[in-house]
Each structure stands twice: as C-alpha cells, then as structure tokens.
Structure 1
C-alpha cells in the first residue's frame, strides 16, 4: 500500500466557506489530479492540524466530509486511506455540495472542545445503510404521495417493528398496544400530557434524565424527587411519597439509569409495581438504554401491564437523527396517547418512521447495535485503564460512566477544571429533576462521539490528571 510523504499539505482554495470544507475540497482536488493516488495514506489528523494551524476537530470534520463523498476510507488503528478506483462505491443520488448550497457551521470555537457529554448512537458505518434505505423508500415505494403528505395513521408494519424493538426477556407487547413516536422524549411527554393535569405530581429519582422533568414542569406539572441508592429508587421512600403527596405518575429508567447506571433489582421492581397498583400511580418505563445494558430482569411492563407505558427509541443504538421511538401502552390507552402525541409534536414523518421500521424488521438495527457494543467495549477498556483506580461506576456495554469524585472535588468546579483542559463532561446538576439538597459529588463521562480511540485515551488521561491535581490545581476555585 502506498504511503504519502509526511510533509503533504493541501493547497487551500480562497473563499469564505468554512475552513474544513476548503480543506476537504483541496484534498479532493489532489485525489482527482493524482497527487494522492489510490492507497495513499492521509497524514494523521494531529499532524495536519498542526501544519495548517487549525484544531484537530477541524481536520476531523474535513476527513469525515471526504469520506461522505466516497473518496477515502478509515481503518481503525491504521489511518485514513484514499480509495482505489476499483473500490469506489456505487454512486448514490447526487449529494448536496458545499459549493452549491449553504453550509451550517458551528464555528471554530465549538471544535476546540472535545465533547464527552453526548450519548447518542455510536457511529459504526450505519450512515451508508440509512442512505440506501432512504433512496429505496423515495424510489420504489408504491405510496409516493406519502413523501410529501401528513401521516394519516400507523401501518401494521410500524407496530410490528415497535413490538420487536420494545421486547425484553419475558416481555413482548402486542402490536395493538404499540404507537410510533418522534423519539422517546416526544412520546413520554405525550403520555404525561394524556394522564396528568397541571398541578398534579410526577415522581422522578434524584438523578435522572432531567429534560423530561423540566419539560413537565414547563407544562405546569409538579416534580417530586424519590430517594435512590446505587441500585435505584428506594421502594419504602417511594411508598411514603405516594401516601403523603398522592402523585399521579412515576418516571423510571430501571434497566439502566442515566447517569448513575443503577439497574433496579427484580425484587425492587416487584415492590414498585405493587406500590403503584395500590396507590393507582401510572408508570413510564424509559427503556432507551435497555438494549445496551445487558439487563435480563423482567421489565415493569410485564409486572404491572395495566399501569405501565414502556418506551424505547433508536437514538442510543442506531441514530439520534431519525427521531424514531415507540411506546407499548396499557390496554385501551394507545388510542388516547397517539392523538396526544400528534397534537403535542405536530405529527410524524413518514420517511423517518418507515425507515426506522425497516431497520428493525430487517435485522439491521440489531446488527448496528452489535457493532456499537464492540466500539463501546474498546472505549470502556481505555476508560478503566485511565480511571480504574477511582470510584468509577461503569458498564462495558454502556457509552457513559458515573465518576464519584474524591475529596476535595465537587462536581461543578471539577467540570470547569476539565473544560479548561479542552474536554466537556456533565456534572450532577444536569441530571437533577428539580432544585435539591441531594449531593452526589459525581460527574458523567460519555464516550459516544465520533473520535478515534487515541483521542479518547488522551482525554481519559487528562481527566485522571485533573483528578490527581486536586482543587489547588484549579485556579477558578477560591
């Protein structure tokens, strides 16, 4: 395989377009002119960033752009190589090109920080599969008008896909109870708007996916916190809340809590189901991380089907941009939640829902998940190598970890100290459903973004270095 000279430098064209686009255009021109023949290895991103005088993030975006154009291929651990003519993929419909259409640019400042605060689906090459399926839907579907019209109803195939995606060990919801949603968040809010009225109480754990709680509060619902430990919500404390405050609904992530990674034991699930049944409390069981958690315990939906709305989506396993989710509803409630979802979200997108359903029913979603687990496993090993000596709550199948901070660190100052080193993580207040006196002294470190293993290893080492430096090493702490 041909290797290019280490001093290769693309000739950047003039113009006011984003610099990563100009870098990609220059590399494409060199490939077209034979300066970079098939099999040539592009310079490491760090080296090229130094030579041009830009951030590594800028070079990463440029390399991603030329990969999307089908000009190069990345090989994990080896680098980025120019495709040979014989390896060129079959052309897709003509893409939007930066030279013809405006490019949305976040700006250079955003690229100077490595984002360890996202848990969206791992990139494993599924973009090509998604593009092919989109092209097939647009070209071959018998109901072409659905590409430009509102969605009048839910096809049986969408319900079947939802039933398959929502199934857990010992639990397979009937397709008749399943509705399709614009992702988990929109679906959960539709359930909340259907079952509760302004002023009524909703229970959340003290650390949770707080965006739901804040959305519910914005809609006039009252937020109540239930104490939890390393295994999740405490049933006895929850029962006291039910007896004293009479909540209408409980929101839980029993398979894998975000951010603490707590997995609710089966005996607690049984107790929670019994308490909710006794006090007539509805349950929203958020299972978006269930496929990644390795959880094989019976879901709450199987223990208390008459009260539980079991929710899942593809945002953590296949693609966050598809905005595709499903809810298995208690008997008789799908017909109530579906119109609420339509009114609350404005309706669904036929191409998105059809694409998501195809991915599930064809088995592609499961294959993508299998590849994602392999990537997560590698990054998890790097994390444990760098931070294993600290109190780290992690799961080799989960794309984030919960780091308990040693004395004298607190989560806010620690997050700022890490940010000063060019890395963004999430602190505990990001996961509190309301103002609270509960303190964890913890941060969440995610590793789902599209960086190579080397950069992740370096970032984890930086976090370890900040931990060891102590507060004295953080100049903004007084």
Structure 2
C-alpha cells in the first residue's frame, strides 16, 4: 500500500509518521471510509516497529476523528465526507458514468406547449419593466401567481403572503436566517436533506437531530427536544421526505402540529415534492398558518435550471425574510419569475407535473424489478429510492465501490445527523438517468453489488 511506503519517508516520531500517512491517504482518497486498517501486529511487523508504537499511532488517528476501533473487528477509517454529492459536471470516469446521486430530472419532460410559451415570453416580455427595477420579494403579479400555485398544494395564501425566492435551497437558507440568530439551535429530522444542514452550518446555527420512524418525525422525540428549551425552530419535510421517501400520515401531522402549537415554535416546511402525490396530504403549514413558513419551488417539476421558488411567510416574519433575501440575492431573477408565473396562469405547470409523475412511475417500476428482494423504501411517483445496506456493507464504501463500477449514489452520511442511531442506506435518484435503458443498467449494477457483498469486508483473523 502506498501510504505504508510513505511512512518510511516521513521524518519525526514514528507514531506521528503513521498518523500523518493515514491522514494523507484519507484526504487523497487512497483509504476509503470503512476501510479496515492493518492490525497493530501486522503493521508493526511491516515497519519493523514495536507494537506499542502502532497502538499509539492508531490512538492519534482516532483522536483526529479519522478512525474508530471496533471490539473484536479492528480499526476502521472514518473518512472526511463532503456535505453533498459533487456536481455531475465535475465527475470524471474512464467509462461512461451514470450519476444517480443528484435528485433532479436530467431534462424537463418534453411538452410542445412549453416551447410555445418560451416563444411567447420572448416576443412580448416587457423587459424594461422587469429589468429596470428592484422587486425584492417579487412583483405583485408574480406573488399572485405564487399564491395561486400554492392553492393547488393545499396552502391558502394571498399575494401579500408570498415571497418569490431563487429556488427552495435559497428559501430554506433565508428562512433559517430570519427565524434564528447565530449560535442558536435548529431542530431537524435525524435523517435530513443535506442542503438544509449545510445552510444551517453556513449561518452558524447548531443542528439538533429529532428521531424518526416509518411515519416521519416522532412526536415524543420532538416534544423531548423542545422541552429541553435549546431550540425554537423546526425544519422538516413531511411529504416524500428526502432521502427516506417517508410521507407523514394525517394522524402524525396532527400530532406534530399540536406540539408545535403548544411550544409556539417556528416551522420551516420544505415541500418541493408535494406535487408528486395525488391526493396531496395537507401540509403542516395549513394547520400552522401563523407559525410556519412553507417553501416549494419549480426545480423538480420543471428542472434544476428553473431557479424560482415560492414561500408563504406569516406576517410576523416578512420583514426579516425580506431582509435576508436582499442580503443574499437581492431578488429572484424577474425574467425567470415571469416564466414561472405564466406557467401557472396558463395551466402548463399542471401538465408538466402530470408528465413528471408519469415518468417517475415508470422509473419506479424499473427499480422495483431490479431491487426485488432487497430492503428499500420508496413511493410510486417519487424521484428516488432509499436502498438500505445489508450486514457487511457501509454506505460510504458501497457508494465508492459503485462509483468504481460506473454508478453514482449518495451515502447515508450526507443525510444522517445521528449516524449511530440511523439505518445505513444510499439514495438512488432514478430520475437522473438519461433513459429507461440507462436506469435499468445502473440499477442492475447496484443490485448485483448489494447481493455480491462488500469485497473489502474483513475476513482475516484479528491478532
């Protein structure tokens, strides 16, 4: 192994040389998360050192947070992981690479009417009015369109309630900024969308995990977290949760809403996938009209390039949200906001959503066939599946091995706020494949990898 050879060239105390070599190997990608390091005796023999030197080195590696010792199994790498998948444009691979790590469609469903709308917008758009002024939270007509669209998702709103933002990720960031101060804590589902976690950390907020079960947030766990008094804001995604695909049933929504009402906390509800379900469940924001910010966007029904989102903001927070919006993007792009508004007014957005649901349903059937007999969660019209790892696999190692075989997936470490109490899994984004044939090929690679087992699993005796 390259990193072992490196130890001999490093100067200084041998235990630090070992620790530094392992650190570099992790940063360079030579040692993957979950890799078992050589036993103390084995490495000592290779380097002609005393076993106590290796023991001291491994303790230093654990102190750095880069390894963990498991009783009876050995010492395993805990690699530094990014907060989210890298951009598909930066992924390099000698073979054709199928990137199923990003949860958006590779291209919007083709609709002839969409091209006609684009031509109409280009022909009669009042560029002077749209480009010649600052609209902050959105023009009246754009906010009215947002209110109309939110009605289809079960959220009553007038134009005064709406803030037009630059997509849901932007909406989440400015909502968290408006409702909290640096150093304060935000409650989130123990397994949560990495974009929300990253936004909280960027803003200097602490994230507190709240336990989940198969129905989503657990009421008792939420109440325990609120009773401690360390947080006054909850971020959650009750519908087609990313990544688990869980949708809270009505009884659970009612229980969660009652707890939020009792403790008078602010709620940030992320509902970018709500349009995929029919009938649509009632959003938490419908029950918590004065204490919930509701966020959705057009990145899932139209495509990730459509950076327009709608927020329904209670009056008490509109000034703070507007301030956060101006401090970030100043305003959402007016031309995109106009296109989004026309999609709503013409009814084309409903056609796009119908097409997206149909497309997702076809791809879920492909996944169902490929993953038959495996442990996974999904929903008939969801963008992704949550593929759980069997014994012997760690999701980070599985994702790294899948990448070597030409398929990108997102490991649980991107999502789990409380890894010790979370089930290990990978998110597989079915909608990102360019075609059904490509998805079938990728799904088979993943299914075969699950069944064949971890090629790096420890088999040698521990001495």
TM band (smaller chain):
0.7 to 0.9
Q: Tell me, in whole angstroms, the C-alpha distance in 1 between the residues paired with 2:297 and 2:136.
A: 21
Residue 273 (structure 1) shift: 1.4
- CA shift in 2, pair 1:276/1:137, >3 Å: same
- CA shift in 2, pair 1:110/1:272, >3 Å: farther
Tell me, yes or no, if structure 1 residue 216 matches structure 2 residue 211.
no
1:470 to 445, 449, 453: 453
Which residue of structure 2 lines up, in the alignment, with residue 268 of structure 1? 252
How is 1:115-194 mapped onto 2 (pairs within 5 angstroms)?
Answer: 115-121=99-105, 123-126=107-110, 132-147=116-131, 150-151=134-135, 154-167=138-151, 170-194=154-178
How big is each residue's C-alpha offset from its partner over 1:163-198, in whole Å with a ceiling of 9 and x where there is no partner? 232235653222221111000111121111111101
How big is each residue's C-alpha offset from its partner over 1:86-128, in whole Å with a ceiling of 9 and x where there is no partner? xxxxxxxxxxxxxxxxxxx868648732111122146344487
- CA shift in 2, pair 1:266/1:435, >3 Å: closer
1:408 to 372, 392, 407: 392
Higher alpha-carbon deviation: 159-168 or 176-185: 159-168
How is 1:233-382 mapped onto 2 (pairs within 5 angstroms)?
Answer: 233-294=217-278, 296-382=280-366
How is 1:7-18 mapped onto 2 (pairs within 5 angstroms)?
Answer: none
Q: Tell me, in whole angstroms, the C-alpha distance in 2 between the residues paired with 1:477 and 1:216.
A: 41
How is 1:40-119 mapped onto 2 (pairs within 5 angstroms)?
Answer: 109=93, 112-119=96-103
Asked if structure 1 preserves the Cα contact closer than 8 Å seen for 2:137 and 2:332, the reply is no
Query: What is the TM-score with the length of structure 2 in the denominator?
Result: 0.75
- CA shift in 2, pair 1:392/1:106, >3 Å: closer
Tell me, yes or no, if structure 1 residue 443 matches structure 2 residue 445.
no
Q: Tell me, in whole angstroms, the C-alpha distance in 2 between the residues paired with 1:317 and 1:167.
A: 16
Q: Describe the SS at the equivalent of 2:280.
A: coil
- CA shift in 2, pair 1:168/1:235, >3 Å: farther
Q: Tell me, in whole angstroms, the C-alpha distance in 2 between the residues paired with 1:326 and 1:292.
A: 17
Q: Tell me, in whole angstroms, the C-alpha distance in 2 between the residues paired with 1:395 and 1:344.
A: 35
Root-mean-square deviation (CA, aligned residues, Å) is 2.5
Q: Greater RCO between the two (CA within 8 Å, min separation 6)? A: 2
Asked if structure 1 preserves the Cα contact closer than 8 Å seen for 2:106 and 2:433, the reply is yes
4+ residue runs over 4 A deviation: 105-108, 124-132, 474-478
Higher alpha-carbon deviation: 233-242 or 259-268: 259-268
Q: Describe the SS at the equivalent of 1:259.
A: coil
Asked if structure 1 preserves the Cα contact closer than 8 Å seen for 2:103 and 2:432, the reply is yes
Q: Describe the SS at the equivalent of 2:246.
A: coil
- CA shift in 2, pair 1:450/1:391, >3 Å: closer
Give unpaired runs (5+ residues) of structure 2: 1-88
- CA shift in 2, pair 1:145/1:342, >3 Å: same
Q: Tell me, in whole angstroms, the C-alpha distance in 2 between the residues paired with 1:292 and 1:122.
A: 17
Residue 149 (structure 1) shift: 5.2
- CA shift in 2, pair 1:111/1:215, >3 Å: farther
Q: Tell me, in whole angstroms, the C-alpha distance in 1 between the residues paired with 2:94 and 2:125.
A: 40
Asked if structure 1 preserves the Cα contact closer than 8 Å seen for 2:266 and 2:292, the reply is yes
- CA shift in 2, pair 1:352/1:436, >3 Å: same
Q: Describe the SS at the equivalent of 1:437.
A: helix
Q: Tell me, in whole angstroms, the C-alpha distance in 2 between the residues paired with 1:170 and 1:128.
A: 28
2:211 to 227, 237, 252: 227
Q: Tell me, in whole angstroms, the C-alpha distance in 1 between the residues paired with 2:120 and 2:353.
A: 22
Q: Tell me, in whole angstroms, the C-alpha distance in 2 between the residues paired with 1:397 and 1:360.
A: 22
Tell me, yes or no, if structure 1 residue 456 matches structure 2 residue 424.
no
- CA shift in 2, pair 1:421/1:111, >3 Å: closer
How big is each residue's C-alpha offset from its partner over 1:242-266, in whole Å with a ceiling of 9 and x where there is no partner? 0113312000101111000111122
Q: Tell me, in whole angstroms, the C-alpha distance in 1 between the residues paired with 2:175 and 2:207.
A: 16
Asked if structure 2 preserves the Cα contact closer than 8 Å seen for 1:387 and 1:460, the reply is yes
Asked if structure 2 preserves the Cα contact closer than 8 Å seen for 1:230 and 1:262, the reply is yes
Q: Tell me, in whole angstroms, the C-alpha distance in 2 between the residues paired with 1:302 and 1:477.
A: 54
Asked if structure 2 preserves the Cα contact closer than 8 Å seen for 1:150 and 1:348, the reply is no
Asked if structure 2 preserves the Cα contact closer than 8 Å seen for 1:168 and 1:298, the reply is no
Q: Describe the SS at the equivalent of 1:245.
A: coil
- CA shift in 2, pair 1:346/1:129, >3 Å: farther
Residue 235 (structure 1) shift: 0.6
Asked if structure 1 preserves the Cα contact closer than 8 Å seen for 2:137 and 2:165, the reply is no
Q: Tell me, in whole angstroms, the C-alpha distance in 2 between the residues paired with 1:239 and 1:456.
A: 42
Aligned length: 373
Higher alpha-carbon deviation: 362-371 or 113-122: 113-122
Q: Tell me, in whole angstroms, the C-alpha distance in 2 between the residues paired with 1:172 and 1:110.
A: 51
Query: What is the TM-score with the length of structure 1 in the denominator?
Result: 0.73
Asked if structure 2 preserves the Cα contact closer than 8 Å seen for 1:250 and 1:282, the reply is yes
Q: Describe the SS at the equivalent of 1:173.
A: coil
